[in-house]
Amino acid sequence: MTKFSKALRRTEQNVPPIWFMRQAGRYHKHYQKIRAKHEFIDMCKNPELAAEVTMGPIEDFDYDVAILFSDLLFPLEALGMGLTYEPGPKLDRALTPHNLKALKSVEEAVSQLTFQGDAMRLIRQRLPKEKGLIGFVGGPWTLFSYAVSPLDAKRPEFFATNSIAAKADLDFFANFSELMIELLIENIHLQLEGGADVVMIFDPAAGVLSPTLFQHYVAPGIARLAKNFSGQLGYYSKETNVEHFGPHLLDLKDLAGIGVDHRQNVPDLLVKRTTGFVQGNFDQALLFAEPSVLKKRVLEFLTPFRNMEPKKRAGWVCGLGHGVLPQTPEDNVKLFIDIVRETFK
């Protein structure tokens, strides 16, 4: 049984599994070397390249879990929206209630996503047996936010700006969500059949919603997906909290686990959510600190977990509050992992 599967089952273990969002990304020389020779979209859609990028962090940093290298916008492209990377993602038009029906059917779209299942199979073949494997899809709200206002996603105010258009017609989101959830079900099947232990729903834009709107519009769709794949889906959203999750997600036993950003108290969530994993949540910006300072910050971060009985922190998956930032020093990534393992061994 892998460390990650133990966390899924809330099985007691001394050292928690470690994985980072964006652990295969621009901070990593292995990624940079491949990116110098290939376009980003080819790295995602060529299963051999996607598998190679995915495996790089496992081989160099010894993370406990591999996560598919891909992009969350491909379901929108599969439905017929043109997608380019310049270098950030850009869609060719804004989705409106008038052109929603012009999108492709789910049956047509799913054939455009098979490369993810193929990449999963290659990763699983290469992955050591003691490592877990995670796939991912975008959350319906985040995909809607991109679709209705396809600005340059590299702008720091992207989600806040897009939320204006997204919130303007929440009934339109409900219609969009019906279509997208059907496609995501097929997309998730592809990844699970390819060998994923769990598929994460990444929904970074959901934090722009109030808890009331989140529970009314977003949580039911996540619950519906989770019930289709009981124990096989995780959910992460940025800048959400316990009030957002409420009984819809916090007590949802079909959900394999949740991830939270660095603003949340993971030990508290481990007590409140009694099944599955809770992933997080060291502040990713602190990985830029000098090694001596970083060590101090990591030990401070770990103190509440050290004070918990091992059985009470059994579902913890150690990671960052969000993804690894570009230009993060590789040595600091290694240092973080070493400190965690040394602390709990």
Specify the number of domains making up the chain: 1
Characterize the bridge pairing of strands 65-67 and 83-85: unpaired
Q: How far apart are the first and last CA of the chain?
A: 18
Residue 12 has a CB neighbour count (10 Å cut-off) of 13
pLDDT (average), residues 4-25: 97
Give how far Cα 181 sits from Cα of 94, 173, 186, 292, Å: 19, 12, 9, 46
Q: Which residue range forms the structural domain that includes residue 287?
A: 3-344
| pLDDT value of residue 158 | 57
Give how far Cα 290 sits from Cα of 6, 26, 296, 321, 338, Å: 33, 20, 10, 19, 16
Burial class (CB in 10 A: 0-12, 13-18, 19+), 210: exposed
Give residue-wise pLDDT tens across range 297-337. Answer: 999 999 999 999 999 999 999 999 999 999 999 999 999 99
CATH, residue 340: 3.20.20.210
> Which amino acid is located at 123 in the chain?
I
pTM equals: 0.95
**pLDDT > 80? residue 150:** no
> Which amino acid is located at 224 in the chain?
R
Q: Which residues pair with 257 in a beta bridge?
A: 234, 277
| Distance in angstroms (rounded) separating the CA atoms of residues 199 and 187 | 10
| Distance in angstroms (rounded) separating the CA atoms of residues 90 and 324 | 22
Give residue-wise pLDDT tens across range 190-246. Answer: 999 999 999 999 999 999 999 999 999 999 999 999 999 999 999 999 989 889 998
Apex 341 CA angle, 338 and 344, nearest 5? 145
| Distance in angstroms (rounded) separating the CA atoms of residues 200 and 295 | 29
Classified as helix, coil or strand, 316 is strand
Mean per-residue pLDDT over the chain, rounded: 94
| Res. 160 pLDDT band, cuts 50 70 90 | low
Characterize the bridge pairing of strands 277-282 and 316-320: parallel
User: Which has the closest alpha carbon to 147: 125, 130, 162?
Assistant: 162
| Distance in angstroms (rounded) separating the CA atoms of residues 323 and 320 | 7
**pLDDT > 90? residue 75:** yes
Return the residue matching tokens 């406990």: 64
